[in-house]
């Protein structure tokens, strides 16, 4: 119903005067699709080392707020890539609301004891004093959150032009997300955790407004979302460029959460050691 309701809004606004509200409605219409497939490209600029690019694909269930993406390093500096066999440069990431599960051959070797996954639960870690959750997870691991942040678009929306994404006609727009508005737009139970996460991101990026590029199809759904974040990390300034493609809307998606016996929970490590984790 959201998709049908939004279509006349897009037509009425026209390509020249799309409003921030229409962008937010497009994000909601996309989420209303339920299951979908995702393609991801992410480039991380490393202090003193160069650019590390990963690409991946997976699925997202917006109703249960879960995603499962497999990422592979496709290009990077020898300083990073040369340390591993090319066959080892694959990472799986599962998000379940605020929890992020990560698996890779390197992590499995480090964990030992038969554990395969590392879990970071933002909702719990945010209650631990001195813990900066944003330092524990890479930006871009949760496509659902990136999509949801489009609800916080503010200011002018620029029309860039008409483009095809995976063979589908779209209109390319450029806008700005006001991160400080985002926590007030999520559901009440998630608001405190969302605010903590956004505060951490703003602290590391030194900016509360993020430029985004959005490609909408004729049904008022987001087909592509791209953004770039500047970050302060140990060793100097860094940057993350992300691009998500959303397609095959309505796909039946079943995402299994790793069994507790296969998981090392960083939340437990913080509780046991009283550690402060941060940048």
pLDDT tens-place string over residues 164-218: 999 999 999 999 999 888 888 887 877 777 777 777 677 766 778 889 999 999 9
User: Which distant-in-sequence residues (6+ apart) come within 8 Å of 202 by Cβ?
Assistant: 179, 180, 208
Report the chain's mean pLDDT, rounded to a whole number.
78
The tokens 């985002």 sit on which residue? Answer: 182
For residue 245, how many other CB atoms are within 10 A of its CB?
20
Looking at residue 73, what is its pLDDT?
Answer: 84
Which is more confidently placed, 202 or 255? 255
CA distance 60 to 3: 18
Lowest mean pLDDT among 13-22, 95-104, 149-158: 13-22
Output the CATH code of domain 2-267.
2.50.20.20
Q: What is the pTM of this model?
A: 0.79
* Mean local confidence (pLDDT), 73-90: 62
For residue 261, how many other CB atoms are within 10 A of its CB?
9
> Is 31 a residue whose pLDDT tops 80?
yes
CA distance 184 to 191: 7
């Amino acid at each position: 119903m959201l998709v049908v309701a939004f279509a006349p809004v897009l037509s009425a606004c026209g390509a020249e005067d799309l409003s921030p509200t229409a962008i937010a409605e497009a994000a909601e219409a996309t989420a209303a699709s339920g299951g979908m497939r995702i393609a991801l490209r992410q480039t991380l600029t490393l202090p003193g080392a160069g650019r590390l690019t990963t690409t991946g694909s997976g699925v997202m269930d917006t109703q249960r707020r879960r995603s499962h993406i497999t990422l592979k390093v496709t290009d990077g500096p020898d300083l990073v890539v040369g340390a591993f066999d090319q066959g080892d440069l694959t990472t799986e990431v599962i998000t379940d609301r605020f929890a992020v599960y990560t698996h890779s051959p390197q992590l499995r070797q480090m964990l030992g004891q038969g554990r395969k996954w590392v879990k970071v639960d933002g909702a719990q870690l945010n209650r631990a004093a001195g813990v900066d959750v944003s330092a524990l997870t890479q930006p871009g691991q949760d496509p659902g959150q990136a999509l949801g942040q489009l609800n916080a678009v503010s200011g002018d929306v620029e029309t860039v032009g008409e483009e095809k994404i995976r063979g589908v006609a779209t209109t390319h727009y450029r806008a700005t997300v006001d991160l400080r508005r985002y926590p007030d737009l999520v559901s009440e139970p998630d608001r405190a955790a969302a605010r903590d996460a956004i505060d951490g991101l703003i602290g590391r990026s030194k900016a509360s407004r993020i430029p985004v590029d959005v490609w909408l199809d004729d049904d008022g759904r987001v087909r592509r979302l791209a953004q770039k974040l500047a970050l302060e990390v140990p060793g100097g300034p860094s940057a993350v460029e992300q691009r998500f493609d959303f397609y095959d809307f309505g796909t039946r998606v079943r995402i299994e959460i790793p069994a507790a016996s296969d998981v090392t929970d960083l939340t437990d490590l913080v509780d046991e050691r009283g550690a402060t984790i941060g940048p």
